[in-house]
Structure 1
Amino acid sequence: MSKSEVKTRKSQLIHTFGPGAMQVNKDGISMLACGLDYWFAESGTSTSIDKSAIEKFIIQDERLASKLGVKEFRNPPDASIKFKERKISLPLPAQRFPYWHICSNTNCQIMKKESSIKDDQSRCPVCDSTMYQSRFISLCSHGHLQDFPWVEWINNNLGKSCTESCQLKLVGTGSTTSAGIKVKCVTHNTKPVSLGGVFQNEKDGDRVKSSALSEKGIKCSGAKPWLGSEHVTACEEPLVTALRQATNVYFAKTDSSILLPVSDNESINRVYSEYEKIPSDTKKLIEGGGDIETKAGILAMYFGAEFEKSELINFFKSYEQVEHEVFELSEVDYRFQEYHHFLENNHDGCLVTKLREISEYDSWISNYFSNITQVKQITVTNAFYGFDRIQPSKDRRIDSYKNDLWENNSATKGWLPAVKVYGEGIFIEFNSTAIKSWSRDFSTKTEFKKLQEKALMSSLHEKVGVLSPAYLLIHTFSHLLINQMIFDCGYSTASLRERIYVSEDPETQMYGLLIYTAAGDSEGSLGGLVRMAEPKKFEAILRKSIDSSNWCSSDPICREQGDKGGQGPYGMNLAACHNCALLPETSCENFNTLIDRGCVTSKELNGDGYFDSLY
């Protein structure tokens, strides 16, 4: 077993520890996950394994694949698989990073640059003490990553001509501030140079305009070490200093999609559900069979007597029509396709829903909601397509992100890593008449206008567009409802996730909320969430969720902070904090921002809150 081995869940490779991300193993070694060129290659080689061995990892989602510009998705491989009676080792490769190490002996503190493939503990060349990796790294907003430029920092501060072959050492590593940490060249016996001010940057909005390093003339090398030590591209972006475990070093870019039925015909959807389980090689054989009649005949032999040939012919007619559609849709249009399926009954296939009559619930429910749907079976694909550093970007194209995942850019249209979750959920549609009437008044509030301006300028909320009162309300209500449901449904908070459907455009108007299970790899679908939507049970949960917006253990401070302009990251929340309305960040679509209890119920219950009339 490799000493640098670290075990990682597949879902973490999509959200937290994907290509270009660092994590620390049990021996304290920081490792950088390699690019997708090195996935599905047998341990110790760079050659991809037999394609037929990859079949079991392929995930199909035509809508999402078209949106992200790839042919397919692949589930991250297991550490080892069995193929043709042979065990194949398939660990995802990683390399040691940062390269610079410091002696742990406080009387020595000599620095040494190690190889990226060194597998064991580094030792000091002077005193033989153990060495630890530098806490400091450098990066830029284009995603490049490199060691902190220790040699350049000395040269630019002292006018020296030191090189990496010189012997460097640190002074004052026990200091609580960067100003107390100093570096010197032992070879040239230079005086120690302080790292004070090395984290200072000048920003223009979200963009870094200049940094302490760029002011010294130290430029970004354009390095992408996760793609190989020689992978360097020209870059003019300011080089920024960061701690290697800082939260701004890696922002994963992910997208999700709900697998939709290919037709309104239940028989076709039932065939589709089974067809998606067929191995890709067999699919290609079937789809290369010629006309629809021939394909249906081959598929009939594969399924046996399970389906009539006429059902298979109808399936291929619908399947090929969907397959050749071009899904160049906006985020709103993309979700609008899903929205419609939650407002109807789907009895078979990848999405099973039961639309409840609103009259089944207490009379007050219809004043605020139009429809409630039990989503008994749902399939969600979560795909990873890139990452940002320093700050999430709002103007990079998907192709630009994918280029950072592959050493060979011609491979970017092949596949992306993804995980598929099978679960359950509840869909709630808000009363459009009521929410429009409430929105007209709430949109004039000064606090909301300020929040709207912040959201428009922030790169965190590119998918939201112009923040509307309806979005703020539904997003806040989602958090309150999830926090309440965990007491009854059998799932933990982190196992539930939200998906917001809001659009003010008359052609794509929607005011909906989906809460679904998001941890299918460990907890699966227990049925507890769907049962929460049963009449007489759901009313009590809704009422408790609304009541919870009235009070926070941090009140009056929580309410006052909202009135004064906001709280939380970048002041992007109004009356909302960890004691009342926030969720684990994996459950929220917007990094726990754009939340305000005041839009659910106001402090004075004067009509500013959507549910004020309930009291």
Structure 2
Amino acid sequence: MITTYGVGSMVAIGDQSYIISGLDTWNVDGSEAIYEPRLERWLGVQGFQPPPAANPPSGDGVRVRLFPEFYSCANCHDLKQFRKFGSPRGKSQCGACEKPLTPSRFVIACENGHLDDFPYFDWVHKRTDAAGSSQTSRHDLSLHSTGRTASLRSVVIRCSCQKEASLEGAFGRRALQNLGIKCQGNRPWLGRGAEQAGCEATPRTLQRGSSAAWFPINRSALSIPPWSETLQKRIHPHYKMLKTLLEQQVGDDVAMEVIKGSGILPGSNFTPQEVLEAVRRRWRLEESEQPDPHGHEMFESASRLRREEYEKLTYGTATVDRGDDFECTKPPEDPDSPLPIGVGRTMQVQRLREVRALESFTRVEAPDPATVEHRKAAVARAATGWLPAIEVSGEGVFLTLDMQRLHDWETREEVLLRANRIRDNHTAALRRRAMATAGSDEIKKIESPVSARYLLLHTLGHALINEWSLEAGYPAASLRERLYVSGEMAGLLIYTATSDSAGSLGGVVAQGEYKRIRESLKSAMNRVSWCSQDPPCMETDTGGVDGLNLAACYACVLLPETSCEVNNIFLDRAMLIGASEDDSMGYFTSGA
């Protein structure tokens, strides 16, 4: 519900297709609210709620709506809205021939998140009659497959007015625009009457199950001190009541008497004064200036939240309570096995908690930093004050790079030239996507933030995840990366990402020991130094979506989508171990 089938996404259940309804239809009672003050402030909401799960037969949890509305019958070939088939209640069956119905395979969507049924009527009549056809007379559509080929040429739509057209060319970028078919601004996940007028985006044809039909915009934060501490967790259920007391400017004596009777203190060593100060600290966070979700950087890896986490991960925690959600310590130094060359610091994160929220989603094009603010789709008709989220607990290893060595390496001409190939491709992609929402002057100012440092840390994260999935016993899909990259940061956190106790088995945190980090890094570099797709993999001029990868494929460094922060782009093995024409340009093979 957060990463795969969230609000606005389509899901096939049995022989029917549905779309997940907006948050204002979810049955949420607030009893299981998820607490993460930093992320709440960052996203401007009052809290998070886990997706509700209701036991049958009530089914009163997350609501869905029938979509697409067009269905077809394989027996009589009728193509029309589901409600016109006369299907018996609770079934998906043609009322005339009693055969199963099939939801339309095709939908149309635009980059602004709007979604609609494929315009079969317009497709047939505008392709066959330049003047168009009137809808006042009866037009019954039918769907036929000639079976001659596996292409869309064999899928033919026929009308009772004797016109017909195949779906060949329907997936062209401007196929619908060339016929004068415009986006109607429909938002079926919000119900009828939720259309947005005036959408100028070009609609595109998509398959119903296409990954391009729904791209989630997920935001996440680690619980770090003081918000990860036991005291803050204990006051959370009582926070609104205590905050109200402070707003009413009651004296400290009155507030502490209320605290004594609130149920916060029993079973703890906290004093009323400590509780009162913790409430004030959280109140100050809420009253502070709301940070920009994207900061001044285009990547979340350089955001204010990441900078706060970077500091806590770098220096660790001195004292930890058993109930705390964050424990990070430096491994004991080993004179016989110092840190590998190029690594500045390694930290063992014995306990961590991450909250992941679904902020919004996009369609057709994946969310990108330059245009995402203009393309976010609404997740409810009106503001709800909360977002759906989950919390995951686990363990991990945090490491930073040697800043002096990194600076010397990333300023080398051959490194910059190779990194700029991806940077230039990314700039071109950002400018192309911004053409629909920005003027020519604004487009010229758009520049990719991709740097050699980012490519290095991202590819290193993928290499270590693949290596540790073999050594620590976790499948690669159960490990995640979290990047910390800016002019002052060069860090990487690899951690387990499971919502149950399997995230705390200790297999990953042990990899942070000096000896193990040396061995695993050496093994990872050996593993990525050769790919079964070489030499094409290493020597390719461009790879991945929009040419945003170089030496990277599924045989070497690509990961399951759930493990990567940016959908397996901005990767290049040459940043680690050098290119075929120059081995010395790699960070870990360089003599710099």
Indicate the SS of the match to 2:376: helix
Q: Partners of 1:358 and 1:165 in 2: how far apart?
A: 82
Contact 2:217–2:367, Cα closer than 8 Å, also in 1:
no
State the shift of 1:292 in Å. Answer: 4.4
Q: Which amino acid aligns with 1:226?
A: W
Q: Paired residue for 1:258, among 205, 216, 222?
A: 222
Q: Partners of 2:584 and 2:137 in 1: how far apart?
A: 67
Contact 2:415–2:585, Cα closer than 8 Å, also in 1:
no
Corresponding residue number in structure 2 for 1:415: 386
Correspondence 1:113 to 2:77: no
Correspondence 1:588 to 2:564: yes
Q: Deviations over 1:260-286 (max 9, x none)?
A: 2138xxxx944224334x366766677
Corresponding residue number in structure 1 for 2:525: 546
Corresponding residue number in structure 2 for 1:216: 179
Corresponding residue number in structure 2 for 1:71: 46
Contact 2:399–2:493, Cα closer than 8 Å, also in 1:
yes
Q: Partners of 1:344 and 1:29 in 2: how far apart?
A: 53
Pair 1:32–1:580, CA change in 2 (3 A): same
State the shift of 1:361 in Å. Answer: 6.8
Corresponding residue number in structure 1 for 2:266: 304
Q: Paired residue for 1:526, among 505, 509, 513?
A: 505
Corresponding residue number in structure 2 for 1:180: 154
Indicate the SS of the match to 2:492: strand
Q: When the two structures are aligned, how many residues end up with a matched partner?
A: 555
Q: Partners of 1:511 and 1:559 in 2: how far apart?
A: 25
Q: Partners of 2:137 and 2:359 in 1: how far apart?
A: 35
Q: Partners of 1:423 and 1:352 in 2: how far apart?
A: 11
Q: Partners of 2:70 and 2:242 in 1: how far apart?
A: 50
Q: Partners of 1:70 and 1:525 in 2: how far apart?
A: 30
Corresponding residue number in structure 1 for 2:450: 467
Contact 2:414–2:585, Cα closer than 8 Å, also in 1:
no
Trace 1:96-495 onto structure 2 (pairs within 5 A): 96-105=66-75, 108-115=76-83, 120-157=90-127, 158=129, 159-162=132-135, 166-172=139-145, 174=147, 175-186=149-160, 188=161, 190-201=162-173, 211-234=174-197, 235-262=199-226, 269-276=229-236, 278=237, 290-301=250-261, 302=263, 303-304=265-266, 306=268, 307-329=270-292, 330=295, 331=300, 332=302, 333-346=304-317, 347-348=319-320, 349-356=324-331, 362-363=337-338, 365=340, 367-394=341-368, 395-396=370-371, 401=376, 404-407=378-381, 409=382, 411-412=383-384, 414-441=385-412, 444-459=415-430, 465-495=448-478
Q: Which amino acid aligns with 1:525?
A: S
Pair 1:417–1:280, CA change in 2 (3 A): farther
Q: Partners of 2:142 and 2:81 in 1: how far apart?
A: 12
Corresponding residue number in structure 2 for 1:58: 33
- TM-score w.r.t. the length of structure 1 is 0.83
Q: Partners of 2:494 and 2:342 in 1: how far apart?
A: 18
- TM-score w.r.t. the length of structure 2 is 0.86
Corresponding residue number in structure 2 for 1:18: 6
Corresponding residue number in structure 2 for 1:556: 535
State the shift of 1:393 in Å. Answer: 4.1
Q: Deviations over 1:113-163 (max 9, x none)?
A: 113997634333543322211111111111111111111223323232236
Q: Partners of 1:284 and 1:270 in 2: how far apart?
A: 18
* Higher relative contact order, structure no. (Cα contacts within 8 Å, ≥ 6 residues apart): 2
Corresponding residue number in structure 1 for 2:63: 93
Contact 2:106–2:118, Cα closer than 8 Å, also in 1:
yes
Pair 1:352–1:292, CA change in 2 (3 A): farther
Contact 2:229–2:326, Cα closer than 8 Å, also in 1:
no
Q: Partners of 1:164 and 1:538 in 2: how far apart?
A: 74
In structure 2, list runs of 5 or more residues that go unmatched: 435-445
CA RMSD of aligned residues (A): 3.0
Q: Deviations over 1:88-132 (max 9, x none)?
A: 753211122111111112xx3121211399763433354332221
Contact 1:79–1:89, Cα closer than 8 Å, also in 2:
yes
State the shift of 1:77 in Å. Answer: 0.9
Q: Which amino acid aligns with 1:71?
A: Q
Q: Which amino acid aligns with 1:456?
A: T
Pair 1:18–1:287, CA change in 2 (3 A): farther
Contact 2:350–2:396, Cα closer than 8 Å, also in 1:
yes
Q: Which amino acid aligns with 2:21?
A: C
Q: Which amino acid aligns with 2:210?
A: A
